[in-house]
């Protein structure tokens, strides 16, 4: 039985990955500091170790008695806006902590590493949809902190032979189809959970910016359902076992504007959403749409749940019951 270390496994994407791995009969150890993750989100079949990846003693303890076949690294802060206010937090928690983790991965001869990266490494793209070969020019410290990790992984691969996959997520969204699991960030910055939360509390939703260079003035993003995103990780894990890997976009190739998302929320819920418009957040790109051809061709990836209606319906089930 393969044994996997999942860092950040108490978070949104990490908790879904933990469950899927367990369902596929992997043995799973979760490392999470629980500052932004939730203990109750971790499947009870997994072993949860609470600690911080900035603590070298904690990292050593993870590898002291267990031999891992792969590390899936989700642990990191994810808010572009927050990173513009606290860049030191992002470089410390994302980049520097990952350097310490990679040091332990190499010392303990872990053969495979999957990294939770972001489309934020591209910045404002000059080409749409965006291929992996597109120049990387992050517009905020969050994207920069992730790009630094990608560069570390590339050098570790070239020099030490580490097999890795860096998955550049576009916009992870949605919840379990039955509403049993979902998104619960604190702070929450994503449009779908924030808009649904506003509906449930009968408060206005704040739309950040309608002066983007897009057809309706709001920024456009490529939304991928959490179940499809997890499938990409499973395919990457299989590829790494065959000494394949690299950098992959994980998206649909289709974009939706913020206004289109809000319209879908109104359609699915049958409720009228009050919207207040505020200034755009610093560091947000106009449009981010994936070119997913590489992951489709090399790993056989395809989306099954990522139409906007399914994403919103599943999110509504989760948030309205939780």
Angle at which helices 191-201 and 258-269 cross, to 10°: 40
Q: How far apart, in whole angstroms, are the C-alpha atoms of residue 130 and residue 229?
A: 18
Q: Tokens 């590390």 label which residue?
A: 71
Would residue 142 show up in a list of annotated catalytic residues for this protein? yes
* 123, 139 Cβ separation under 8 angstroms: yes
| Residue 123 C-alpha from the chain's centroid | 17
Which residue is it, tokens 């905020």?
140
How many CA atoms does the CB half-sphere of 114 hold within 13 Å? 30
Which of these, 192, 191, 176, lies nearest to 269 by C-alpha position?
192
> Of 135, 139, 119, whose CA–CA distance to 127 is shortest?
135
Alpha helices, DSSP H, located in 127-257: 141-160, 191-201, 226-241
Q: What element of type H or E holds 256?
A: strand 256-257
Catalytic choice (142, 208, 223, 248):
142
Q: Distance between CA atoms of 188 and 94, rounded to whole angstroms?
A: 18
Q: Which helix (H) or strand (E) holds 172?
A: strand 171-173
Q: Specify the DSSP class assigned to residue 272.
A: P
Secondary structure (3-state) at 29: strand
Residue with tokens 């019951």: 321
Q: Which of 288, 212, 298, 297 is nearest to 253 (CA)?
A: 288
Q: How does DSSP classify residue 96? A: I
Three-state DSSP state, 166 = strand
Q: Which residues are catalytic?
A: 142
């Amino acid at each position: 039985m393969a044994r996997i270390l999942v860092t950040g496994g108490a978070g949104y994407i990490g908790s879904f990955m933990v469950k899927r791995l367990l369902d596929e009969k992997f043995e799973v150890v979760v490392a999470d500091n629980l500052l932004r993750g939730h203990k109750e989100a971790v499947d009870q079949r997994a072993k949860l170790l609470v600690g911080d990846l900035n603590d070298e003693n904690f990292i050593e303890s993870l590898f002291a008695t267990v031999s891992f076949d792969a590390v899936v690294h989700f642990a990191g802060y994810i808010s572009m806006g927050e990173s513009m206010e606290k860049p030191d937090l992002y470089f410390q928690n994302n980049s520097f902590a990952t350097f310490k983790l990679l040091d332990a991965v190499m010392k303990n001869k872990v053969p495979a590493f999957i990294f939770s990266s972001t489309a934020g490494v591209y910045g404002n793209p000059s080409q749409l949809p965006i291929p992996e070969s597109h120049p990387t020019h992050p517009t905020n410290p969050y994207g920069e902190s992730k790009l630094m990790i990608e560069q570390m992984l590339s050098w570790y691969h070239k020099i030490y032979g580490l097999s890795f996959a860096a998955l550049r997520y576009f916009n992870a969204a949605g919840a379990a189809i039955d509403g049993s699991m979902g998104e619960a960030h604190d702070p929450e910055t994503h449009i779908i959970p924030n808009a649904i939360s506003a509906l449930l509390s009968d408060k206005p939703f704040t739309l950040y910016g309608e002066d983007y260079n897009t057809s309706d003035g709001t920024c456009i993003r490529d939304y991928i359902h959490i179940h499809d995103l997890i499938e990409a990780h499973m395919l990457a894990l299989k590829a790494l076992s065959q000494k394949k890997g690299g950098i992959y976009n994980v998206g649909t190739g289709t974009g939706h504007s913020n206004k289109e998302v809000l319209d879908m929320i109104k359609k699915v819920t049958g409720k009228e959403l009050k919207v207040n418009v505020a200034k755009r957040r610093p560091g947000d790109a106009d449009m981010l749409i994936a070119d997913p051809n590489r992951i489709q061709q090399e790993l056989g990836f395809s989306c099954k749940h990522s139409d906007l209606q399914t994403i919103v319906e599943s999110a509504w089930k989760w948030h309205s019951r939780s």
